[in-house]
Amino acid sequence: MKFKRFPMNKEVQSHQQTQMVKRSALQDMLVEASRPGVLSFALGLPAPELFPTSEYARAIDHVLSTKTQALQYGPPFQPLKEQITKLMTLRGVECKPEQVFLTSGAQQGISLLAQLLLHSGRQVIVEELAYTGFQQVLESYEPEIISVPTNIETGMEVDVVQRLLEQGARPAFIYTVTDGHNPLAVSMSNVKRIHLMEVAKRYCVPIIEDDPYGFIYYHDKLNPPLRAIDDQWVFYVGSFSKILAPALRVGWIIAPEAYITHLPNIKEASDINTSTLNQYAISHYLDSGHLTTHLQTLRDEYRIRRDAMLSALDRHFPRASRWHKPTSGIFIWVELPKGIDTVEALKISLETERIAFIPGQAFCVNNDCQASHCMRLNFSNSSVAGIEDGIPRLARVLTR
Amino acid sequence: MKFKRFPMNKEVQSHQQTQMVKRSALQDMLVEASRPGVLSFALGLPAPELFPTSEYARAIDHVLSTKTQALQYGPPFQPLKEQITKLMTLRGVECKPEQVFLTSGAQQGISLLAQLLLHSGRQVIVEELAYTGFQQVLESYEPEIISVPTNIETGMEVDVVQRLLEQGARPAFIYTVTDGHNPLAVSMSNVKRIHLMEVAKRYCVPIIEDDPYGFIYYHDKLNPPLRAIDDQWVFYVGSFSKILAPALRVGWIIAPEAYITHLPNIKEASDINTSTLNQYAISHYLDSGHLTTHLQTLRDEYRIRRDAMLSALDRHFPRASRWHKPTSGIFIWVELPKGIDTVEALKISLETERIAFIPGQAFCVNNDCQASHCMRLNFSNSSVAGIEDGIPRLARVLTR
């Protein structure tokens, strides 16, 4: 526990230790899950065969042969910021290049924002089940985590948020994934978005809106994110990881103007700057106009995989299981009959079928969350054949 | 001051504010310094015309056309860790791949180590004049900074470190740049290295040894770094930024084995992983065997630039100025006659000659450091012609 920044009281320590033990047992399994030969529905990986590899290779080649500063340290690339503002209009967001802050991926975006807004011991409002990478960010600050439930069809229970604030909660921020929720795959209803913004503004609480999946939708366009409703309290976090490729490590924050000048210092302290080469290459790729077609390819192909998984679940999973058809993102959240322990099931699944998924428990932000009978399945990183082979085998493990 | 993690007392706050105001005035000037047409001896940039651009372009091309996971998220690339252990033997360091932890550059290395070792309010031992990026890392922790002087010929005053520890100082760590010191350009004497390790071990104080310039030397090979003397207390930080290119954003920590398991969690929280593409491409570049020749090219060319700058200083700078011939690194530290204020001089220099440098004051870790008559000059990022043109013009500003 050496790396904690803050002297801990016994209670916190013991909770933290439980969390860490739980997580490291899980991490061991996830190492298992990444071994060759394992069919994995575990991680939130995009499909590598869909990466626009040759277009990106051409972009890098162009940049390296024309820009002498491409391999140098460099300031944020202004044309890329402008292109991001254009991209954001596809999400219904109007913003200015001055509000765009470039990061080394969305994870760094969240990490920098925690540094900006949070200090040890403060409160944070977050859903009971939340992205593990966000939980890792929180760990070193040891905030008081106030969790709110999520309705599987309409998203975060904003009424509960309102009640907490009325009762005196004063969080450093509220964290939410409004679309393609990780792990619940739900999109927040429009009514709730408007309500959440009303409440946040009334109580002056910033919101970190994590939106890695907002361009990956399967039916109509998604509702505009919170950032489209308000530009004073929302820190929107976007990324090229899911729409281009994760290895570029480029993402962005759209920050309220009052805060934008605070970000460069924190960013420089973290890693000086985002790779100049990748900024230039992404900008060149975007200039080529290929992204629109590429996004459509992703949506079409991921929709096919999602439907294959939904159909296989329908045919093979235990009767009393429940899931919802996600309208965006890359996950399906499955609630199995109570009594099935998915941590146990993962162990057996890896041993007998060499199939991996993430047990619901991994996403719990505190100990009273009930997800030990749940699992998160990823469909973007498996072929239809893999899904049709894997889901019945996984079902066998669950019904043994 | 919203982004501080810890409630501040008035005294700390006012010191911090002074520092921030000082730094932001300076930052404004550095923005000026990066404008086109300005001849800059300011930043610590490598020479872009020496980047092995076409070899690196070939490496990327090879990787993108052969490795399907090159643009995906991915774990640390084992062959690269092995190559780094080989590279470290050139510095006289024996280490194992398991001790190598990959980072997104040396700055991230320092930032992760601060997160590992430091928490708010603890002590840190650092030289009076220190790398500004390290100071930026410290800011959010608000540690008690205990500064020790540096001898311009032999490095950090280890006797003072010993005395502080004898008198009860218990720092979270000691930070030092043993070779090509930034900003002082000094290399620590071997006697002092051995002494510092003795003292650190006796008092169980970890050392962060920041070594971005250890492969850039101009005469005999440098003394081996602290990590060659001890593998239990030294966290060595290395980087490809100065020996290949900064835009790759790849560096490494060699960590004591007792700590290595703590690093992945902190790293994942910061930015998930270091770019897979760049890990693969650097590994392929290293496989080609070009690095040895490339390092020799850098040393030869930077030596010429260093000598050109030393000779120009000799001919043009005020009589009472002092500097030392650096045996490594990319800077010359100049002490001007007392009474010359280099912050003022920079303002005038930018206005009248459009020449930039960094005033000594920018590197001071506290207010009682005496460097207002000093400046740091970079020679790696200017041609000999630029140096021979710029130094006399800068001298004119100083002797007005």
Q: pLDDT at position A209, please?
A: 98
Q: Answer yes or no: do A247 and B104 touch at CB < 8 A.
A: no
Q: CA-CA distances (angstroms) from residue A305 to A331, A374, B376?
A: 11, 21, 58
Band of the pLDDT at B16, cuts 50, 70, 90? very low
Band of the pLDDT at A182, cuts 50, 70, 90? very high
Average pLDDT of chain A?
A: 92
Q: Answer yes or no: do A265 and B74 touch at CB < 8 A.
A: no
| Residue of chain B nearest A49, judged by CA positions | B68
SS3 content of chain B, % helix, strand, coil (to 5): 45, 15, 40
| Residue of chain A nearest B117, judged by CA positions | A3
Q: Answer yes or no: do B104 and A249 touch at CB < 8 A.
A: yes
Q: pLDDT at position B20, please?
A: 52
Residues of chain B neighbouring A48 (CB-CB closer than 8 A): 68-69, 71-72
Bigger pLDDT: B350 or A400? B350
Bigger pLDDT: A35 or B310? B310
| Residue of chain A nearest B55, judged by CA positions | A64
Q: pLDDT at position B400, please?
A: 81
Lateral strand order in the sheet of A322-323: A322-323, A331-335, A374-378, A358-359
B53-289 CATH: 3.40.640.10
Bigger pLDDT: A360 or A34? A360
| Nearest CB to B5; choose among A65, A120, A137 | A120
| Nearest CB to A53; choose among B71, B75, B107 | B71
Checking if the pLDDT of B10 tops 70, the result is no
Q: How far is B18 from chain A (nearest CA, A)?
A: 16
**DSSP for residue B365:** S
| Residue of chain B nearest A270, judged by CA positions | B108
pLDDT tens sequence across B289-327 = 999 999 999 999 999 999 999 999 999 999 999 999 999
Q: Answer yes or no: do A4 and B119 touch at CB < 8 A.
A: yes
Average pLDDT over residues A299-307: 98
- Helix residue ranges per DSSP H, chain B: 10-33, 53-66, 78-89, 106-117, 132-139, 158-166, 190-202, 226-229, 257-260, 263-271, 276-287, 291-316, 342-348, 384-398
Q: How far is B253 from chain A (nearest CA, A)?
A: 14
| Nearest CB to B136; choose among A7, A54, A265 | A265
- Rounded-to-10 torsion of CA A264, B53, B253, B143: -20
User: Identity (one letter) of the amino acid at B199?
Assistant: V
Checking if the pLDDT of A338 tops 50, the result is yes
Closest CA to A105 of A287, A291, A238, A16: A238
Q: How far is A339 from chain B (nearest CA, A)?
A: 31
Alpha-carbon span B393 to B387, nearest angstrom: 10
**Residues in chain B, overall count:** 400
Tokens of A164: 């907490």
**DSSP for residue B180:** S
Question: For residues B81 and B99, is the Cβ–Cβ distance under 8 A?
Answer: no
Alpha-carbon span A50 to A380, nearest angstrom: 10
CATH superfamily of A10-50+293-398: Aspartate Aminotransferase, domain 1 (3.90.1150.10)
Q: For chains A and B, what is the number of CB pairs under 8 angstroms?
A: 193
Q: Answer yes or no: do A270 and B46 touch at CB < 8 A.
A: no
Q: pLDDT at position A121, please?
A: 77
Residue B349 DSSP SS3: helix
Q: CA-CA distances (angstroms) from residue A270 to A3, A115, B60, B103, B210?
A: 17, 10, 25, 11, 15
| Nearest CB to A72; choose among B48, B70, B111 | B48
| Residue of chain A nearest B74, judged by CA positions | A247
- Rounded-to-10 torsion of CA B125, B130, B135, B138: -10
Checking if the pLDDT of B97 tops 90, the result is yes
Q: How many CB atoms lie within 10 A of CB B296?
A: 10
Q: Answer yes or no: do B117 and A71 touch at CB < 8 A.
A: no
pLDDT tens sequence across A104-116 = 999 999 999 999 9
Q: Answer yes or no: do A278 and B43 touch at CB < 8 A.
A: no
| Residue of chain B nearest A52, judged by CA positions | B71
Parts of chain B belonging to CATH 3.90.1150.10 = 10-50+293-398
Interface probe for A, chosen from B73, B118, B273 (most Cβ of A below 10 Å), is B73
Q: pLDDT at position A288, please?
A: 94
pLDDT tens sequence across B53-81 = 999 999 999 999 999 999 999 989 999 99
| Nearest CB to B45; choose among A73, A104, A275 | A73
| Residue of chain B nearest A46, judged by CA positions | B72
Q: Which residue has the tokens 């020749």?
A: B293
| Nearest CB to B3; choose among A46, A139, A266 | A266
| Residue of chain B nearest A4, judged by CA positions | B119
Q: Answer yes or no: do B57 and A48 touch at CB < 8 A.
A: no
Residues of chain B neighbouring A247 (CB-CB closer than 8 A): 70-74, 275-278
**DSSP for residue B329:** S
Average pLDDT over residues A249-274: 95
Q: How far is B70 from chain A (nearest CA, A)?
A: 7
Residues 6+ apart with CB under 8 A from A198: none
| Nearest CB to B272; choose among A3, A34, A133 | A133
Bigger pLDDT: B207 or B121? B207
Q: Which residues are A125's β-sheet partners?
A: A146, A174
Q: Answer yes or no: do A246 and B2 touch at CB < 8 A.
A: no
Residue B331 DSSP SS3: strand
Q: What are the phi and psi torsion angles at A154 (to 5°)? A: -125, -5
pLDDT tens sequence across B128-153 = 999 999 999 999 899 999 999 999 99
Residue B59 DSSP SS3: helix
Interface probe for A, chosen from B270, B283, B298, B378 (most Cβ of A below 10 Å), is B270
Band of the pLDDT at B11, cuts 50, 70, 90? very low
Q: Answer yes or no: do A247 and B71 touch at CB < 8 A.
A: yes
| Nearest CB to B265; choose among A108, A115, A136 | A136
Q: pLDDT at position B26, please?
A: 62
* A59-288 CATH choice from 3.40.640.10, 3.30.300.30, 3.40.50.800, 2.40.50.140: 3.40.640.10
Checking if the pLDDT of A73 tops 60, the result is yes
Residues of chain B neighbouring A71 (CB-CB closer than 8 A): 48, 51, 53, 56, 245-248
Alpha-carbon span B90 to A124, nearest angstrom: 48
Residues 6+ apart with CB under 8 A from B190: B223
Q: pLDDT at position A36, please?
A: 84
Interface probe for B, chosen from A32, A242, A243, A271 (most Cβ of B below 10 Å), is A271
Parts of chain A belonging to CATH 3.40.640.10 = 59-288
Q: Answer yes or no: do B6 and A119 touch at CB < 8 A.
A: yes
Q: pLDDT at position B5, please?
A: 33
Interface probe for B, chosen from A112, A141, A205, A272 (most Cβ of B below 10 Å), is A272
Checking if the pLDDT of A17 tops 80, the result is no
State ipTM: 0.93
Residues 6+ apart with CB under 8 A from A251: A102, A103, A104, A105, A106, A107, A108, A109, A237, A238, A239, A240, A241
Q: Which residue has the tokens 């934008």?
A: A260
Q: Answer yes or no: do A271 and B116 touch at CB < 8 A.
A: no
Interface probe for A, chosen from B12, B72, B235, B282 (most Cβ of A below 10 Å), is B72
Interface probe for A, chosen from B277, B280, B283, B298 (most Cβ of A below 10 Å), is B277
Interface probe for B, chosen from A2, A3, A65 (most Cβ of B below 10 Å), is A3
| Nearest CB to A104; choose among B104, B259, B277 | B104
Residues of chain A neighbouring B105 (CB-CB closer than 8 A): 271-272
Q: pLDDT at position A367, please?
A: 84
Top mean-pLDDT range of A103-112, A256-265, B12-21: A103-112
Q: pLDDT at position A25, please?
A: 58
Tokens of B174: 């000691």
Band of the pLDDT at A119, cuts 50, 70, 90? confident
Parts of chain B belonging to CATH 3.40.640.10 = 53-289
